[in-house]
A and B are shown apart, each in its own frame.
Chain A
Amino acid sequence: MAESTPSDTPLTLEVFTAGLWRENPVFVMMLGLCPTLAVTNSVINSLAMGAASIFVLVCSNALVSVLRKLIPKQIRITAYIIIATFVTMVDYIIQAISLDLYNALGAFIQLIVVNCLILGRAEAYASRNSLGKTVVSALGMGLGFTFALVCLGGVRELLGASTLLGFQVFSSNYEPWVVMLLPPGGFIVLGCWLLLFNWLKQRKTTKMIAAEEAMDTTRQIETS
């Protein structure tokens, strides 16, 4: 959220990759948790939700960015209405493409509109950056979001139904861990992913401190 990039910085790869890893919306910023947990009981659902979110995120942020000089700061609600328009479009598009998918995702397609990720990016990034950068950043964020959804969906589908994208993975001796498909599984799998990410981060900082200390000792030896 604390994206304080001034609007005259050039468009770099960093703008794109920030959302993918360093500022991953789910694992690092904890934004948009509701759809993350609710629809990730299979990889297909996760991908569909990710694609829908990318579409809404990119389109609404682009529009907010284009209109950023016209919209006064006080009326935040306009951003909501822009988002709601695109969500209604996605809702009808998914309904037209696949009714099964529409029924599986249920009300959560319409609930994209209150996904804090989208409004947060519209407020924190799109309302102060140029169109090109906004689109690239939104694409990165959206892909990061999808990546997180697939991480969760993959684990839950594998453990809960022993399939991946509908293909059987484990042999029939495997007793499916049904609770993973149910609500508690979503919370627990996300908790475990967060633990993993915390561990990775901690290992990185310890390594950096160790490297600095090693540098200091070599310098001391050289000077003495």
Chain B
Amino acid sequence: MQPDSLIFIFINAFLINNFVLALFLGLCPFVGVSAKRETAFNMSLATIFVMFVSSTSAYGINLVLQYFDLQFLRLISYIAIIASAVQLVEMTMKKFTPALFRALGIYLPLITTNCAILGVALFQTFREYDFLQCVAFSLGAGAGFGLAIMLMAGLREKLELANLPNITQAAALSMILAGILSMTFMGFAGLGGGGA
């Protein structure tokens, strides 16, 4: 597979270099919102959506910044873009799909501080992806985040029923679980013939 083909970029962001388990991005919601499968699912939908919107707008603003030779403003403008994209998505949803808004509403502000979103915008700039590659990358990253958080939520629901020692309360056990999950994902390293 070509390393810059769309399908490879998608699979790379989805499995090989999974945003949560290999790059450690978006850990706060990964630990915070993974207690129930339903909320985890809603959270990952909202994240995929915002990731897509902010990644495409970041691509646009980067072109403008490059045209005026203002790269040092990149970080500030990305932050502003993500925050306003989240606001925009929130308002649009409220107007057109109230049902979806009720399901995802509370997660949207949380997403602003999700470093995976900014991570997508920064990585696509560093790797100089074109527009379609950006779309594939953001969808893959979002899907990878969703997969990781859903797996974690499933594991944690099972753990609720288990008899655990007291000291494994709070996040300690989640971290060790995440470590084991991450080790599993290392098995994808050779996928696509190129490795990471």
Contact = CB atoms under 8 A, between A and B. Distances in A.
Interface of A: 30-31, 33-34, 37-38, 77, 80-81, 84-85, 87-88, 91-92, 107, 110-111, 113-116, 119, 179, 182-188, 190-192, 194-195, 198-199, 202
Interface in B161-183: 166-176, 178-180, 182-183
Interface in B11-32: 21-28, 31
B31 A113 contact: no
A191 B173 contact: yes
Contact of B175 (A91, A188, A202): A188
A113 B173 contact: no
A191 B166 CA distance: 14
Interface residues of B, number: 41
B64 interface: no
B67 interface: no
Interface of chain B: mostly helix, strand, loop or mixed: helix
26 contacts: A33-B27, A34-B27, A38-B23, A38-B24, A80-B80, A80-B83, A81-B76, A87-B75, A88-B76, A114-B118, A116-B28, A183-B21, A183-B23, A183-B182, A184-B183, A185-B179, A187-B176, A187-B178, A188-B176, A191-B174, A191-B175, A194-B170, A194-B172, A194-B175, A195-B168, A198-B172
A91 B119 CA distance: 15
Contacts of B114: 114
B68 interface: no
A136 B83 CA distance: 30
